[in-house]
Amino acid sequence: MGTTQPDTVTELKYWHLKGVISEALESEFSVGEILPNERELAARFGVARATLRQALDQLELEGRLQRRRGVGTTVAPPRVGVPVGSPRQMWPGEDDDGWEAVDAVVAAPPAAVARMLGTDAAEPVHRVHRSRSRNGQPVAAELIYVPGVSAPGFSRGDAATGAVRARAVLHELYRLPLEGQDRTVELGSARAEDARELDRLPGAPVLVVTTRYVSGGRTAAVAVSTYRADTCRLTLDADTAVLAS
């Protein structure tokens, strides 16, 4: 037993490959440049295509690569920073945040949301849909759940549709005193609808930001924002505003 050999632990092929390609990206390629196709890369490195893809998967997850079916694999630009922490407590859309209202419907919320709202899971609520772009690319989709009690002035049968209706529902919120809000961030995978909107495949990794708005001692609304994890870096600039002044 004397020979406690260092034990090189046989580096995994895809792990090694990832490192090699990662270095090549920095030294031999520039942003936007297109890589050789997967079949050729696999042949060049002497591995099966599935193994090569395992390495590319990770690099794409880290935002280093961008793959588009029918086109090819390109070197991704650095992640875009997306401000997420409102410097001051505000209702969604009250001060012109980066979001664009799309539409609003009445629907039953997911169980997790109903739990936060304290409503019955089968009880329909307003669901406001907003989207967010950056540099012309969609980066996030959002669904805001607003119980009827939080929008007493809005009649469900209101004929308005689309963005007009969405803004009308949100405007009802502004009449309530916003007493607090809290947020969570977690990893998720894009539902089919999100994927379409974010120009990704279903199941693509996303950062899910859940915001709970508190008014009158209860949860007045819940916003679930879904950010593309490959292209986004969420920035939470807290009170740097204090410093900037």
Partner DNA sequence: GAGTGGTCTAGACCACGCA
Partner DNA sequence: GCGTGGTCTAGACCACTCT
Task: Scan for tokens 């799309």, then name that residue.
Answer: 102
Cβ neighbourhood burial of 192 (10 Å; 0-12, 13-18, 19+): exposed
- The contact mask relative to its own copies for 46-85 (x = CB under 8 A, - = no) is ------------x--xxx---------------x-x--xx
How many other CB atoms are there within 10 angstroms of residue 235's CB atom?
Answer: 12
CA distance 178 to 87: 14
Interface residue with DNA, options 31, 37, 152, 158 (CB under 7 A) = 37
Considering only residues 72 to 131 of the shown chain, the ones binding DNA according to CB under 7 A are: 72-73
Interface residue with DNA, options 64, 67, 127, 130 (CB under 7 A) = 67
Partner from DNA, its own copies, none contacting 180, C-beta within 5 to 8 A by type: its own copies
Considering only residues 148 to 207 of the shown chain, the ones binding its own copies according to CB under 8 A are: 179-189, 202-203, 205, 207
| Contact by Cβ (8 Å): 42, 52 | yes
Retrieve residue 72's tokens: 């090819």
| Contact by Cβ (8 Å): 97, 119 | no
Site for DNA contains 44 (CB under 7 A): no
Positions touching its own copies (CB under 8 A) are 12, 15, 18, 58, 61-63, 79, 81, 84-85, 89, 179-189, 202-203, 205, 207, 214, 229-230, 232-240, 242-243
